């Protein structure tokens, strides 16, 4: 797969970018923190003031960060040793009546450069074309942050687009494979890889077809998950499958894609259909796969908000007759299929080889400490630990900083406790309502006594037999371990 430039051209462009220090740190140092923050808000004034000099870094910032037209001499000097004619031929810059402008998004990202189509803000007033190749966006960084970064032999980025996930995979995978339906996207990914000094296997094709029969230690995907009637207007968001079928297909594909012990993580949207529990629907995606699954719903959107969001995402004008018709057709489809909302979240699947896999589908709406990846990894580790142990024989301790929140109402004589909540102060920040018995249990988890001995004491205090107390306590303790509120004591 060829990039936008020849290997020699890529080398020259890389030299130009490195020499000018067109990097995240170089740009921030040049324009300062206030202008950097303002650029993120779409306010370019301070960045333009800081780059009036016309030196190569200033010119690159004006071209590729601010979307300005620059004159021929400055652009040629900024891109040298890449020949300007080659940059124009590759579409990196375009000739306009007022000078040269960026033809692609060229974004410093961590220690790399990512090349993609111009974002909506760099092409004001023009809707995104059907074959638009996305740059690094909120969904990209969400998935990147949620990915488990343990060293692996082989990794696959399915639907690579500009190659952002593949870049991250290259930091901990021996070999990276990236696929996309769009040949155009693969050309951008090839350019991103070459410019960032990486080598990936790039394959074209639909979903898992290009890697049929192969298995990977890690698979990540930010797929075209947008739900709708199954018509494709934009390749980056529409799969051509109706409803949430593309995500169901990915989940089913995981069993053939994952090596033993392998993990697959993908962003997904799912339907909340009237009369159906969305959790059952999503759990159904992995039924029969033999994979452990943790699915978290971060938010849910009502149909009107959802359609508006995605029309705006493609910079489609919302005040024309066509836009109104598109929105109405989309919303009619929601109505006809009794869809009340769309859930947005993350699916993590693990080929752990269990006959009775754990499948957990739940909401995780609270703000969490980023990145999410280590918390997801720890969740799967705790699940494995729970499987391997006789919990009654284990000593447990409360998580560092675990808090007890009480709500109480003042009575005539004293406070009456209405609600008690255990709260994790960091990480996934779970909050669990508990009763006095569970509080006693958690209070006793100081790493000293095995759970069985704690239960003996509690059973005696409550005048119930130990087996009954254990029957109640063990599932609750297992749940608190799963949530990371109680932790195993080693040794």
Ligand X SMILES: C[S@@+](CC[C@H](N)C(=O)[O-])C[C@H]1O[C@@H](n2cnc3c(N)ncnc32)[C@H](O)[C@@H]1O
Choice between 310 and 379, CB closer to ligand X: 310
Minimum CB distance to ligand X, residue 226 (Å): 9
- Residue 117 contacts ligand X per CB under 6 A: no
185 binds ligand X (CB under 6 A): yes
Interaction of residue 196 with ligand X, rule CB under 6 A: no
Measured from the CB atom, the residue of 134 and 349 that comes closer to ligand X is 134
* C-alpha to C-alpha distance for 257 and 166, rounded to whole angstroms: 17
**C-beta closer to ligand X: residue 72 or 111:** 111
Query: Is 181 one of the binding residues for ligand X (CB under 6 A)?
Result: yes
Nearer to ligand X, 98 or 206 (CB): 206
Q: Which is nearer to ligand X, 313 or 466 (CB)?
A: 313
Distance of CA 409 to the CA centre of its chain: 42
Q: Site map for ligand X, 220-249, x if CB under 6 A?
A: --xxx----------xx--x----------
Query: Which is nearer to ligand X, 314 or 398 (by Cβ)?
Result: 314
Buried b (16+ CB within 10 A) or exposed e, 162-179: bbbbbbbbbeebebbbbb
Nearer to ligand X, 162 or 258 (CB): 162
Q: For ligand X, which residue of 4, 47, 203, 207 counts as binding (CB under 6 A)?
A: 207
- Residue of 367, 164, 361, 204 whose CA lies nearest to 278: 361
Closer CB to ligand X, residue 26 or residue 137?
137
**Taking CB under 6 A as the rule, which mask of x and - marks residues 401-440 in contact with ligand X?**
----------------------------------------
Cβ neighbours around 386 below 10 Å, total: 17
What number of chain residues touch ligand X (CB under 6 A)? 22
Judged by CB under 6 A, which of 206, 362, 369, 426 binds ligand X?
206
DSSP 259-276: EEEEEEEEEEEEEEETTS
Q: Is residue 22 part of the contact set for ligand X (CB under 6 A)?
A: no
Give the helix/strand (H/E) hosting 174: strand 173-180
**Helix H or strand E encompassing 313:** helix 303-313
CB of 418 to ligand X, least distance (A): 45
Handedness of CA 87, 91, 96, 100 (dihedral sign): negative
Closest approach, Cβ 338 to ligand X, in A, equals 26
DSSP-assigned beta bridge partners for residue 59: none
* Cis geometry, peptide bond prior to residue 343 (ω within 30 degrees of 0): no
- Looking at the Cβ atoms of 206 and 280, the one nearer to ligand X is 206
Per CB under 6 A, which region of 174-182, 195-203, 249-257, 271-279 contacts ligand X?
A: 174-182
Please, which of residues 290-319 interact with ligand X by CB under 6 A? Answer: none
Q: Cβ 300 to ligand X, closest distance in Å? A: 20
Identify the residue among 146, 148, 164, 314 touching ligand X (CB under 6 A): 164
Alpha carbon distances (Å) from 228 to 84, 128, 327, 467: 43, 18, 11, 52
Q: Smaller CB distance to ligand X: residue 26 or 91? A: 91
Choose which of 51, 68, 154, 165 interacts with ligand X (CB under 6 A).
Answer: 165
Q: Are 179 and 213 in contact (CB under 8 A)?
A: no
159 binds ligand X (CB under 6 A): yes
Q: Map tokens 């018709």 to a residue.
A: 325
Instruction: Give the residue, chosen from 36, 160, 191, 289, that forms a contact with ligand X under the rule CB under 6 A.
Output: 160
> How many Cβ atoms are within 10 Å of 282's Cβ, its own excluded?
24
Of residues 134 and 391, the one with the C-beta less far from ligand X: 134
Is residue 464 reached through a cis peptide bond, with omega within 30 degrees of 0 on the bond before it?
no
Radius of gyration of the chain (CA): 27
373 forms part of the interface with ligand X (CB under 6 A): no
What distances in angstroms separate CA 116 from CA 3, 184, 235, one per listed residue?
Answer: 11, 10, 14
User: Which one of the spans 216-224, 296-304, 356-364, 445-453 is the region binding ligand X (CB under 6 A)?
Assistant: 216-224
Q: Phi-psi region for residue 287, left (φ > 0), alpha (ψ -120 to 50) or beta?
A: beta
Q: Are 293 and 345 in contact (CB under 8 A)?
A: no
Looking at beta carbons, which pairs linking 327-334 to residues 24 or more positions away fall under 8 Å?
Answer: 329/229, 330/228, 330/229, 331/303, 331/304, 331/307, 333/228, 333/229, 334/303, 334/307
CB of 267 to ligand X, least distance (A): 8
Structure tokens that stand for 151 in this block: 């060293």
Burial 229-251, CB ≥16 within 10 A → b, else e = eeeebbbbbbbebebbebbbebb
Tell me the per-residue interface mask from 133 to 152 with ligand X, x by CB under 6 A, - otherwise.
-x--x--x--x---------
User: Using the rule CB under 6 A, which residue among 101, 177, 182, 289 binds ligand X?
Assistant: 182
Give least dist CB 3 to ligand X, A: 15
Nearer to ligand X, 59 or 154 (CB): 154
What is the spatial distance between Cα 175 and Cα 215, in angstroms, rounded to a whole number?
A: 12
Residues that bind ligand X (CB under 6 A): 134, 137, 140, 143, 159-161, 164-165, 179-182, 185, 206-207, 222-224, 235-236, 239
């Amino acid at each position: 797969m060829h990039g936008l430039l020849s290997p020699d051209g890529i080398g020259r462009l890389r030299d130009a970018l490195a020499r000018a220090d067109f990097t995240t740190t170089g740009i921030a140092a040049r324009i300062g923190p206030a202008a950097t923050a303002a650029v993120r808000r779409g306010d370019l004034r301070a960045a333009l003031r800081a780059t009036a000099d016309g030196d190569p870094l200033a010119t690159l910032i004006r071209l590729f960060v601010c979307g300005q037209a620059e004159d021929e001499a400055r652009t040629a000097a900024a891109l040298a040793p890449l020949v300007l004619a080659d940059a124009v031929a590759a579409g990196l810059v375009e000739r306009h009546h007022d000078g040269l402008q960026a033809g692609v998004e060229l974004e410093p990202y961590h220690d790399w450069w990512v090349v993609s189509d111009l974002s909506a803000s760099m092409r004001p007033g023009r809707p995104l074309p059907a074959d638009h190749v996305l740059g690094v966006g909120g969904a990209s960084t969400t998935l990147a942050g949620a990915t488990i970064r343990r060293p692996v032999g082989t990794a696959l980025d399915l639907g690579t687009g500009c190659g952002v996930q593949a870049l991250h995979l290259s930091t901990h995978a021996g070999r990276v494979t990236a696929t996309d339906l769009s040949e155009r996207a693969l050309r951008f990914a090839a350019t991103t890889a070459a410019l960032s000094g990486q080598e990936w296997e790039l394959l074209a094709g639909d979903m898992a077809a290009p890697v049929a029969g192969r298995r990977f230690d890690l698979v990540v995907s930010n797929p075209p998950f947008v739900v709708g009637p199954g018509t494709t207007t934009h390749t980056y968001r529409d799969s051509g499958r109706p409803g949430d079928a593309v995500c169901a297909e990915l989940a089913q594909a995981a069993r053939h894609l994952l090596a033993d012990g392998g993990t697959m993580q993908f962003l997904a949207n799912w339907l909340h259909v009237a009369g159906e529990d969305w959790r059952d629907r999503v759990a159904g995606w992995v039924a029969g796969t033999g994979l452990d699954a943790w699915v978290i719903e971060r938010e849910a959107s009502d149909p009107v908000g959802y359609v508006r969001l995605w029309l705006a995402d493609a910079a489609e004008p919302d005040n024309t007759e066509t836009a109104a018709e598109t929105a109405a057709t989309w919303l009619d489809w929601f109505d006809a299929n009794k869809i009340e909302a769309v859930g947005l979240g993350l699916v993590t699947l693990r080929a752990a080889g269990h006959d009775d896999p754990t499948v957990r589908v739940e909401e995780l709406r609270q703000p969490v400490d980023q990145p999410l990846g280590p918390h997801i990894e720890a969740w799967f580790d705790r699940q494995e630990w729970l499987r391997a142990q006789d919990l009654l024989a284990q000593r447990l301790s409360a998580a560092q900083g675990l808090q007890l929140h009480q709500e109480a109402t003042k009575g005539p004589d004293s406070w009456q406790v209405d609600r008690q909540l255990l709260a994790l102060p960091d990480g996934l920040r779970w909050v669990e309502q508990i009763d006095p018995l569970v509080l006693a249990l958690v209070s006793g988890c100081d790493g000293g006594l095995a759970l069985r001995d704690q239960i003996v004491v509690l059973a005696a205090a409550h005048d119930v037999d130990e087996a009954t107390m254990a029957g109640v306590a063990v599932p609750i303790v297992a749940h608190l371990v799963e949530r990371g509120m109680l932790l195993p004591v080693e040794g």
